[in-house]
């Protein structure tokens, strides 16, 4: 199976957002464990998550660390809009720019996954 999982939930939105991110990470971990090809992307306000998840004190840090190999990156344009561009760079994630949207440095392209037949889920 080829699986693209995008986290768009805003970490400042509390428990529901944490639940979405946690379940996305758990799905990625399960898929990796079964040998699937998996890409984890951070889009929209979700570009704020990598800095949060990288903190050792964060309750999902261990899970995030266990799936770090599957992280494709964060949407560059979204990171700019949501004030996470510097943090994305600090945690060492690639900036995804496949979708050339005018007025932005480019966004992550979910369409490329869909067009290539990947199961694509947004949390």
CATH number for the domain spanning 106: value is 3.40.1260.10
How many structural domains compose the chain?
1
β-pairing, 71-75 with 95-96?
parallel
Quote the tokens at residue 21.
Answer: 């991110």
User: Rounded to the nearest 10 degrees, how much is the dihedral formed by the CA atoms of 120, 85, 91, 74?
Assistant: 10
- Predicted confidence at residue 32, as pLDDT, reads 98
pLDDT at residue number 54: 97
Low-confidence ranges of the chain (pLDDT < 50): none
Burial class (CB within 10 angstroms; exposed 0-12, middle 13-18, buried 19+) of 18: middle
Residue found under tokens 């392209």 = 109
Which phi and psi angles does 117 have, rounded to 5°? 85, 10
Query: Which pair of tokens denotes residue 67?
Result: 């799936």
Range of the domain at 58: 2-122
Average pLDDT, the chain: 97
Q: How is residue 100 annotated by DSSP? A: -
């Amino acid at each position: 199976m080829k699986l693209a999982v995008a986290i768009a939930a805003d970490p400042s939105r509390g428990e529901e957002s944490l639940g979405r991110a946690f379940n996305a990470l758990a799905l990625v971990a399960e898929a990796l464990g079964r040998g699937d090809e998996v890409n984890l992307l951070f889009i929209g306000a979700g570009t704020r998550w990598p800095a949060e998840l990288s903190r050792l004190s964060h309750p999902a840090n261990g899970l995030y660390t266990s799936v770090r190999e599957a992280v494709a990156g964060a949407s560059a344009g979204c990171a700019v809009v949501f004030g996470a561009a510097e943090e994305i760079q600090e945690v060492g994630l690639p900036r995804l720019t496949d979708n050339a949207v005018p007025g932005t440095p480019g966004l992550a392209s979910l369409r490329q996954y869909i067009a290539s037949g990947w199961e694509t889920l947004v949390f």
